[in-house]
Amino acid sequence: MDSLRQQPWWRRWVRRVFGGALLPLLWNSVTAIAAESGNEAMFHEQVFPLLRGACFECHSHQSERIRGGLVLDSRAGIMAGGENGAVLIPGEPDQSRLIRVVRHDDPHLRMPSKRDPLSPAQIAILENWIRLGAPWPEIPGSGAATGAMTQRPRGGITDEDRAWWAFQPVREPTPPSVRDPHWATSPLDRFVLARMEQEGLAPSPPADPVAFIRRLTFDLTGLPPTPDEVDAFVDAARQDRTRAVAEWVDRLLASPRYGERWARHWLDLVRYAESDGYRVDDYRPTVWRYRDWVVQAFNRDLPYDRFVQAQLAGDELWPDDPQSARVATAFLRHWIYEYNNRDVRGQWQTILNDLTDVTGDLFLGMGIQCARCHDHKFDPILQKDYFRLQAFFAPLLPRQDLPVATASEEAAHANRMAAWRDAAGDSLRELESFEEPVRRRAAESATIKFPEDIQALLRTSAAERSLHERQLAALAQRQIDYEWARLGTHLKGDEKPRHEALQKQVQTFAARKPEPLPMAFTVTDLGPDAPPIHLPKAKDGSPVEPGFLSVLDPRPAMITRPESAPQSTGRRTALAAWITSPDNPLTARVLVNRVWQYHFGRGLAVNASDLGHLGEPPSHPELLDWLAARFVRDGWSLKQLHRLILTSATYGQAASPSPGVTPAADPENRSLARFPTRRLEAEQIRDAMFAATGELDRTAGGPSVDFARPRRSIYSRVTRNVRDPLLEVFDAPDGFASTARRNVTTTPTQALLLINQQFLV
């Protein structure tokens, strides 16, 4: 004990937070993970899809004409450069011509030339990749490290397309026979052990009880166990380890901390943030209600099918439930918004594209972005499929004027507001009359900044506008509202003191004014009809009707206007029903694979948001199907899925290999013959610090707080442009794009921040 006290403070702190047994392995393990996992995941899930979608049409071996002699579908091609020389200098993004042209630094050469410019988030992905040395691991399915893949033939869907593993119906295979059935504590283990035996490997021994309870607690709650909890588990495991594990899994799943941890995974996927992004990065003051809804949904084990349906179509399915109808549907509002982008038409199309892309990534595990401009070159996703999916979102109208309240609560509040207005009477009417011309001036100063066609649109009455024009007007109105919020800047001469005097008169009645109802950051449909969606450059100009991926269901979607929401189209209800159908082969596989990844650091199929040809086939395909089938059969229960995985012998293994088995026998641990060593995620590191010092505030829910306060990280304010330095340096996502798997980097900045940052000291 004396020798422990004599150790440096930082070593004692690391030992307390991260466990003394991990100290000798900490930095070596993190470095290995970064090299083998983080960079590979970043390339497969972010860099290659971005290059493929933005560049390959003109700069790949498959291009009809290679522009500028430059190919970008292999590292050799990138390093060779094109007719104008080198385009990439590893480690030097600012010196790389590739970055300069996508930033539009060069007025004479701006890329991509045939489509929208890359977003700041996409440029940041390329910058980070080049900064890391432009790693280019083997592309699964290519047979070489070149990245060049065989394109599928153009045309319709073939039987060969339908034969791809992810499009096959989910079946529940019988667990295989194994030579050593005594090791398995779950049918799940027999799938894993069968592969080990095939490859001549043996499972690792059970993890040390202290290491296991730390693993389990961090995994399910994001926090370290207390010393008393560690002692209690060790004592219970000494009596009956299997029973102790099952009891502690149930105990942790019942903790409110579980929802806080697992909601964070979902927020990564939906690119949750509390600000608009771009230059102003305006704050979204009510979006935290969506975060709380997700936390609560996980804690009460809301069935996953209902969880998905509420986010896609809660307003149509359960209009009388404010949480489902108005809070859950904030999923459809997490897109980036540029407040001063006068190209309203272009920005609305960008928003629709973003919603379509995220829906394909998140629920279907299919990277469908390439099909925006042409039939996907590698997967059986047609361009018309992209816009068939987009048509489900065509009638959306962003809303910030809807309260999170029942009809009776709204009526009661309206009565109280009417009573206040009567009391304020002449003073209120005089103030409103005074403000009206000022607001008109403010509106006009904002209106004249738009292109002429949008100005004309804004000056027409709502009744004269088409459905699509109503959407454009609503988006433009946000910029006008921004000027209204700055009303003081439009007051002239003696208007300002007069305005202040009128406000003071109205303020005398403030005690009678009711508190505003809580407001939602949400969407509805425009009405019972939808504006048309057109296929770009289509010759006949006919609109695209809602539909699904043709490889799974080529028929038009059956749309029924919901009786519960007659002022909505019912399109999103149809989409939600198809996505959550037990017959859809993608949804359950995608979710089960994600959960496996969050427990083991790597999914059974590595590319969690791309189960297509650019992703790697699963290491244990029968296990993936068995879990997916069980997941649906168990009522789409996430907690039951956790129990299946966490009580298995596979999850309970030590991180070191079995005696006599060297890591070189399976360097990537695809056979799962040992538990993978993993670094804690950013939020786990931060929250563990406050837990270790006793400062952690465990208050649940409510508006987000500054990241300097010791609340759990999930309750810290998440703005896209200004982030918590600690979370940022440990690879927390920035909220610009859906993040299926976080980067894991090892940089000097991390050590310097932990040792020197004043807040941490």
**pLDDT value at residue 633:** 97
- Between 395 and 39, residue with greater pLDDT: 395
Smallest CA-to-CA distance from 48 within 142, 184, 170 is with: 142
Which residues, including other chains, have CB under 8 Å from residue 459's CB and lie 6 or more apart?
Answer: 447
Phi, psi for 202 (deg, rounded to 5)? -130, 150
The answer on pLDDT for 175 being more than 90 is: yes
Helices within 183-226 (DSSP H only): 187-198, 209-221
CA 664 vs. chain centroid, Å, equals 34
10 Å CB burial of residue 439 (0-12, 13-18, 19+) is middle
The string of pLDDT tens digits covering residues 2-26 is: 444 455 554 554 455 555 444 444 4
The string of pLDDT tens digits covering residues 327-384 is: 999 999 999 998 888 999 999 999 999 999 999 999 999 999 989 988 898 899 999 9
**pLDDT value at residue 145:** 38
The answer on pLDDT for 385 being more than 90 is: yes
For residue 141, name the pLDDT band (cuts at 50, 70, 90).
very low
The answer on pLDDT for 143 being more than 80 is: no
- Between 156 and 406, residue with greater pLDDT: 406
403 bridge partner residues: 519
**pLDDT value at residue 90:** 85
Query: Whole-angstrom Cα distance, residue 690 to residue 694?
Result: 6
**pLDDT value at residue 146:** 41
Query: Whole-angstrom Cα distance, residue 437 to residue 453?
Result: 24
| Cβ atoms 56, 93 nearer than 8 A | no
The answer on pLDDT for 34 being more than 50 is: no
- Between 73 and 255, residue with greater pLDDT: 255
711 bridge partner residues: 697
For residue 402, name the pLDDT band (cuts at 50, 70, 90).
very high
Helices within 550-586 (DSSP H only): 571-579
468 to 68, 349, 394, 462, 673: CA distances (angstroms) = 39, 11, 9, 11, 56
The string of pLDDT tens digits covering residues 630-647 is: 999 999 999 999 999 999
308 to 425, 559, 581, 595: CA distances (angstroms) = 47, 18, 11, 16
Estimate the crossing angle of helix 383-390 against helix 344-364, to 10 degrees: 100
| Cβ atoms 574, 560 nearer than 8 A | yes
Query: Whole-angstrom Cα distance, residue 614 to residue 49?
Result: 9
CA 291 vs. chain centroid, Å, equals 12
The answer on pLDDT for 618 being more than 60 is: yes
The single-letter DSSP state of residue 607 is -
Apex CA 51: angle with CA 47 and CA 53, to 5°? 115
Tokens of 633: 């059969």
Query: Whole-angstrom Cα distance, residue 169 to residue 491?
Result: 66
Rg value, the chain, Cα:
28
Q: How many CA atoms lie within 13 A of 15 on its CB side?
A: 11
Query: Whole-angstrom Cα distance, residue 96 to residue 128?
Result: 12
Q: Express as a percent the part of the chain with pLDDT over 90.
A: 65
**pLDDT value at residue 27:** 40
Residue whose pair of structure tokens reads 């993040």 in the numeric block: 739
Helices within 34-145 (DSSP H only): 39-42, 48-54, 75-80, 97-103, 120-131
The string of pLDDT tens digits covering residues 312-321 is: 999 999 999 9
**pLDDT value at residue 710:** 94
The answer on pLDDT for 297 being more than 60 is: yes
Apex CA 291: angle with CA 290 and CA 294, to 5°? 85
Which residues, including other chains, have CB under 8 Å from residue 207's CB and lie 6 or more apart?
Answer: 215, 652, 653, 654, 655, 675
The string of pLDDT tens digits covering residues 570-581 is: 999 999 999 999
Estimate the crossing angle of helix 587-600 against helix 344-364, to 10 degrees: 80
Tell me the average pLDDT of the chain.
88
Average pLDDT over residues 68-84: 76
Which residues, including other chains, have CB under 8 Å from residue 680's CB and lie 6 or more apart?
Answer: 18, 218, 688
For residue 144, name the pLDDT band (cuts at 50, 70, 90).
very low
Residue 670: how many other CB atoms lie within 10 Å = 16
**pLDDT value at residue 39:** 66
The answer on pLDDT for 61 being more than 80 is: no
**pLDDT value at residue 142:** 42
- Between 327 and 664, residue with greater pLDDT: 327
263 to 223, 296, 631: CA distances (angstroms) = 14, 9, 19
Tokens of 385: 């499929």
Residue whose pair of structure tokens reads 């080990």 in the numeric block: 196
- Between 150 and 446, residue with greater pLDDT: 446
The answer on pLDDT for 324 being more than 80 is: yes
The string of pLDDT tens digits covering residues 183-242 is: 999 999 999 999 999 999 999 999 999 999 999 999 999 999 999 999 999 999 999 999
10 Å CB burial of residue 362 (0-12, 13-18, 19+) is buried
Phi, psi for 285 (deg, rounded to 5)? -75, -15
Q: Which amino acid is at 25?
A: L
